[in-house]
Every structure is written in structure tokens, then in C-alpha cells.
Amino acid sequence: MVSVRLCLILALVVLGGCVFVLTDDHTGAPSSTAVAAGLNDIESVSATEVSGIRFGNTSSHTTTTLRISLAGDSLRRFSRVREPNATAGDVTLVTGHGTMAYDASRNRVTRAPHNDAAVSVVDQAGFYERVVAAAHDGSTVTVPSRGVSPLPAIPAADADATDNTTDVPGYAVSYLGARTVAGRNAHGFRLTPATDAAADMTQTLWLDARYYYPLRTVTTVTSNATTYHLRSHLENVTFNADLSAKPFSWTPPADATTEIVDTTTRRFDALAALRDASRLSVPDPELPAAYSFDSGRTSGAAHRQVTAEYSAPGAHRATMTKFTAPPGGPALDAGAQVTVAGQPASYLVTGHTRRVSWACGGVQYRLSSGALNRSQLLASAAAVACR
């Protein structure tokens, strides 16, 4: 049974956007017991986080002040952007009450309560021990469907993956040895895709040798003839120092505008009930005959998102999501460029699913499945079009 503190450590890694994978082999790497014990010993983290991305002649970097506290088995995380100037002063604060994000340039606050997705990593705690075992016996690791993913979403190659299984195969793990990172002893690990389904991607992780928190992450992805280099590392890192309560009681300016993100979700077992409750029309993808409606839900303020889940024998699943996107909202996923009903779209392969995303005006659509191949997804998406 994983302790509450270990679960919180895993959750804060997800909330902080870090990539966290633990492995082992027979050449001096830590054991899974040492990893669990080290994580369980963390009371606080104080550091400067530097992250960046480079592709072609384009590059950017962000420097952030980071404070994390687990006093009393409650997670609190504070981060403030220092560079670049365009986002300097942006603050993200995570407490037991929820998440607050402050956009300094717009003097705008966004607040959201916690939901199941934020802590679902608790259910995946055993994944890390499986990665340790995989490094021992040479097997591969499959990405969990919920919780922590050891690698970010991977742009799909133009050619479709040929397998038609529930899970896209995962990643092989190798131990790189020990070195000094951020002035501390660290263990290095490398993850490589087990098949072409994961595209041309590698990731190197350096984990603190005492607490097994990620000190450095380097990811290289090649997609559509473009290579992306993503780096993140900690500087001036200190574990278990007494932290001032000031960062965790930070408040935005009194004149800041505030938006409350409504994460209320209603669930339905019948398609007719979902259609009656949703303020958005429910998309009806033309899936293979074996698929039938399984469940659905509406989410957000005024139910601005509707999701329908379909299942088929053999634990195969497909998920159709439609949601309204505010002006300036997130762009479509990076990935292979395709079209759906004459609209620009993207086709993306992650460690667990394939996904096609497209937009019509201010409405976005996503159809994903671990079982359907590219041609099946695109045909089903075309049947939805902009309805």
C-alpha cells in the first residue's frame, strides 16, 4: 500500500508538469524500495526550475521559482515565472482547496477546484515498480491510461500504425549510471519507444539519488522532418528546508478579474439522457458495428463539454468529445496534419491512444481510441464533421 505522502509526491509531479519515471537494473541503480522510501521522506522542495524548447531556428525558455510543501500530508505548490518578460509574474498556486492561476499581463485570475484527474496518479503508484522490473528483465512498459504518463504526447508520423490492439506498446528502459546534477548525486535513465507507433522519440531523466525527485529531463522528438528538443532542470534545489508560509498564502491584486472554472460533471448511462441534458448536440461518430454507447457525461459551466464513450468486445474503447473553446483558447494538438470535413485537423499518437482533433468555429472535437487505426478514426470523424 503506497503511503499518503508518496501519493501526494506523485500527484505534485503531475500538477507541476514534470516527467517522472523510476527504473532499476543490476548495475548500481536504486531499488524500488529505495525509491519509495526516498519519495516518502520529502517534506518540501525549494528550487528554480528552468525549462525550454528548441526546434529549427526557434527556441524559448522559462525560469520559474518553485516551492512545494507536504507538511501535514497536504500538498501545496507555488510557482512564479521570472523569465521571459512576456509571462513574468504569472503565478500558479495549488492547495487543498484547488488551483489558482494568475496571468500578470492580463491581471486575470482563474480558479478551479480539484477533480479526479488531478489525483488519479494515486491509482498508478504501482506503475513505477513495474518500470523497475522492466529495466531488470528487458520487458517494455505500457503507459497507464490514467494518471502519470512517462512521456508527453507524441506527434504521429504520416504513415499509420499497423497494429490494432487496445494499447500502443510502450517504452524500453535503460539505466545510465550516476552523475552530479544540480550539485547533487543523481541516477540517469533513458526511455526509448518500443515500436514505430511511438514515433522517433527518446527521453533522458536524472533523478535525485536520495529523494528520487526529477532534477533534469531531456526529451527529443522528431516528427514530420522536424526535431524538437525539450529540456527542464532544477537549480538551487533544496529538500526539506523550512519554507515560509508566505508563498502559499499569496493573493492576487485586488483589481484582478476572476474566472471560476466549473468542473461539475454529470454522468449518464443512456445516450438519449445524455442528449436531453447536453446544451451541445452530441456527436454521433460512425464507428465499426461492434461498438455501442457505453456512458456519457457533460462537464463545465453551462455544460460546455460533452463526452460519449463507446465500447466493443475485447475491452476496446473509443471516446468522442465536443467542447466550446473560448477566444484565445488552446490550439489543436501538434501532430500529423490531416483534414476532417474540409477542416484542418491533426492526427496524434500518444503512448496509449490515437487521436484526431479538429475545430469548426468556436467548437472543438476530439475522437480517440487505442483500438481503432488511423483510417478508421478519420472515417468516423468525417461522419461527425461539424455537427
Domain range summary for the chain, segments of one domain joined by +: 32-239, 264-383
Locate 226 and state its grid cell.
522536424
Lowest mean pLDDT across 15-24, 122-131, 330-339:
15-24
Q: Is the pLDDT of residue 305 over 70?
A: yes
Average pLDDT, the chain: 77
Lowest mean pLDDT across 74-78, 245-249, 282-286, 326-330:
326-330
CB distance 233 to 182 below 8 Å: yes
CB distance 188 to 176 below 8 Å: yes
User: What is residue 149's predicted lDDT score, i.e. its pLDDT?
Assistant: 45
Task: Tell me how crowded residue 251 is: count the other CB atoms within 10 A of its CB.
Answer: 11
User: What is residue 82's predicted lDDT score, i.e. its pLDDT?
Assistant: 97
Q: Is the pLDDT of residue 287 over 70?
A: yes
Which run of H or E residues covers position 14? helix 4-15
228 vs 251, higher pLDDT = 251
Integer Cα distance of 76 and 167 in angstroms: 34
Locate 143 and state its grid cell.
503507459
User: What is residue 265's predicted lDDT score, i.e. its pLDDT?
Assistant: 82
Q: Is the pLDDT of residue 109 over 90?
A: yes
Indicate yes or no: pTM above 0.85.
no
**According to DSSP H, which parts of 61-159 are helical?**
116-119, 126-137
Integer Cα distance of 380 and 354 in angstroms: 13
Lowest mean pLDDT across 73-77, 151-155, 189-193:
151-155
**Residue 84, preceding bond cis, omega within 30 degrees?**
yes
Burial (CB count within 10 angstroms: exposed 0-12, middle 13-18, buried 19+), residue 163: middle
Q: What confidence category does residue 83 fall into, taking pLDDT thresholds of 50, 70 and 90?
A: very high
Q: What confidence category does residue 153 fall into, taking pLDDT thresholds of 50, 70 and 90?
A: very low
Q: What number is the average pLDDT over the span 363-380?
A: 92
Percent of the chain with pLDDT over 70: 71
Q: Do domains 32-239 and 264-383 have the same CATH topology?
A: no
Q: Which amino acid is at 336?
A: A
Q: What number is the average pLDDT over the span 326-333?
A: 48
Fold for the domain defined by 32-239: outer membrane lipoprotein receptor (LolB), chain A (2.50.20)
Beta bridge partners of 111: 100, 260
Q: Is the pLDDT of residue 93 over 80?
A: yes
Residues 6+ apart with CB under 8 A from 169: 140, 142, 163, 194, 195, 197, 198
Burial (CB count within 10 angstroms: exposed 0-12, middle 13-18, buried 19+), residue 248: middle
Q: Is the pLDDT of residue 266 over 50?
A: yes
Integer Cα distance of 171 and 181 in angstroms: 24
Q: Is the pLDDT of residue 10 over 80?
A: no
pLDDT per position as a tens digit, 161-190 = 333 333 345 778 888 889 999 999 998 888
Lowest mean pLDDT across 39-53, 124-138, 277-291, 333-347:
124-138
CATH number of 264-383: 3.30.200.100
24 vs 293, higher pLDDT = 293
CB distance 352 to 142 below 8 Å: yes
Q: What confidence category does residue 89 fall into, taking pLDDT thresholds of 50, 70 and 90?
A: very high
The closest of 324, 322, 309 to 369, measured between CA atoms, is 309
